[in-house]
Amino acid sequence: MAAFIFYITLFILMASTSRAEAAQTSVVALLLRVDQSGKGDYEKIQDAIDAVPSNNKEMVFILVNPGIYNERIVVPADKPFITLSGSKPNNTVIIRSDNGNIFESVTFTVLASDFVGRYLTIQNMYRPGAKAVALRVSGDRVAFFGCRILSYQDTLLNDTKRHYYINCYIEGVWECRFPF
């Protein structure tokens, strides 16, 4: 299926100028659409990520149409500069129900740097009492905006490097069992 090119206009404040003097820069990004009904470029999120070339140097914007995507997602280290975006976190949901090793039970893994996730719900639905990670982040300069990250235990594995969570809701249930 065809991919689309679109333009994003960014306003960048230059360090040497005042706030009133913003420089305008155009950035070209590849747009990939994910839609379970077959109306997009891909029906699965992982297929869109897999389509990004290894050692990617271009910005890629993956727009995920509303739906519940029952997938394990991995953004490999050699695929930086990806933005994965839904429209609202309540209607763009990525789920799995897996448990075990905290590195293997993960619903969504980000190993790449310069990744952005927007308006998504990422959830591991495995029952309480087992390691069931919803999100693992190991890339550098990774940001999540307006996302919901949910699981019963070990919800977020904020592994290594710099990560930012802006207006995100992160929930896990902690169980205390007596006697210790």
Task: Compute the distance between CA of residue 131 and CA of residue 112 in angstroms, rounded to an integer.
Answer: 23
Of 28, 72, 27, 66, the C-alpha closest to 47 is 72
* pLDDT of 174: 57
- pLDDT reported for residue 75: 98
Domain count, the chain: 1
CATH code, domain with 112: 2.160.20.10
Whole domain around residue 41: which residue ranges? 4-13+23-171
pLDDT (0 to 100) of residue 127: 80
Asked if residue 120 belongs to a domain, the reply is yes
What is the pTM assigned to this prediction? 0.81
Q: Could you tell me if residue 144 is inside a domain?
A: yes
Q: How far is CA 58 from CA 29, 31, 167, in A?
A: 7, 11, 27
For residue 74, being part of any structural domain is answered with yes
CB distance 33 to 41 below 8 Å: yes
Classify residue 176: in a domain, yes or no. no
> In sequence order, what are the residues at sequence separation of 6 or more whose Cβ sits closer than 8 angstroms to the Cβ of residue 152?
124, 126, 127, 128, 129, 130, 132, 172, 173
The answer to whether position 180 is within a domain reads no
Q: What is the pLDDT along the chain (180 residues), one digit of tens a residue?
A: 444 433 333 323 323 344 444 444 556 789 999 999 999 999 999 999 999 999 999 999 999 999 999 999 999 999 999 999 999 999 999 999 887 777 888 999 999 999 999 999 999 988 877 788 999 999 999 999 999 999 987 899 888 889 999 999 999 865 544 454
Is there a domain that residue 62 lies in? yes
Give me 166's structure tokens.
């802006």
pLDDT of residue 131: 80
Report if residue 115 sits inside a domain. Answer: yes
First to last CA, the chain: 56
pLDDT at 6: 38
CB of 107 within 8 A of CB of 95?
yes
| 49 domain residue, yes or no | yes
